[in-house]
């Protein structure tokens, strides 16, 4: 009998079982399929960007795509982790912990938006369920408009 079979989540733990813990640890924080698809489409439109970069060096938060000269930061938010109004379903196990975690993520997202905006950045946020082509088109149009408006080419 393995030691994992007897594993029990300690009081206040974020994982309700060893299997749940492994599952949650396997979730990617970057290079998700929606991010990858959007990046590929934006790249095909001739735009270049930084991946998982800090728009502002002093801000310890990374955007999924960063267009430095145009000052555009793009985030592709996961429906569960960022509390999508259409798709977020509160968990049945350890719901207090996870609901609080998602709430903290949403608050941090709003704080990030505000800090970047105050620094002259434009923040674009998309949900993982949105059509990749539509997201890429909006990103490209926004970046090109910001470049031409600021004289950056």
**Domain boundaries defined on the chain:** 29-150
Give the predicted TM-score (pTM) of the model: 0.79
Class of domain 29-150: alpha beta
pLDDT at 18: 62
pLDDT, tens digit only, all 153 positions of the chain: 444 343 344 445 555 556 545 555 555 556 789 999 999 999 999 999 999 999 999 999 999 999 999 999 999 999 988 999 999 888 888 888 889 999 999 999 999 999 999 999 999 999 999 999 999 999 999 999 999 985 454
* Percent helix, percent strand, percent coil in the chain, to nearest 5: 45, 15, 40
Could you count the other beta carbons within 10 Å of the beta carbon of residue 143? 25
Beta-bridge partner residues of 85: none
């Amino acid at each position: 009998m393995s030691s994992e079979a007897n594993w029990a989540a300690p009081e206040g733990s974020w994982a309700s079982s060893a299997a749940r813990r492994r599952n949650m640890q396997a979730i990617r924080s970057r290079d998700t399929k929606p991010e990858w698809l959007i990046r590929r489409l934006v790249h095909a439109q001739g735009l270049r960007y930084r991946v998982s970069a800090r728009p502002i060096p002093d801000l310890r938060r990374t955007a999924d795509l960063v267009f430095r000269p145009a000052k555009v930061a793009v985030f592709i938010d996961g429906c569960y982790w960022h509390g999508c109004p259409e798709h977020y379903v509160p968990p049945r196990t350890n719901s207090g912990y996870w609901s609080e975690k998602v709430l903290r993520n949403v608050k941090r997202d709003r704080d990030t938006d505000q800090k970047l905006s105050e620094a002259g950045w434009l923040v674009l946020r998309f949900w993982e369920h949105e059509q990749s082509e539509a997201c890429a088109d909006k990103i490209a149009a926004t970046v090109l408009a910001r470049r031409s408006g600021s004289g950056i080419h």
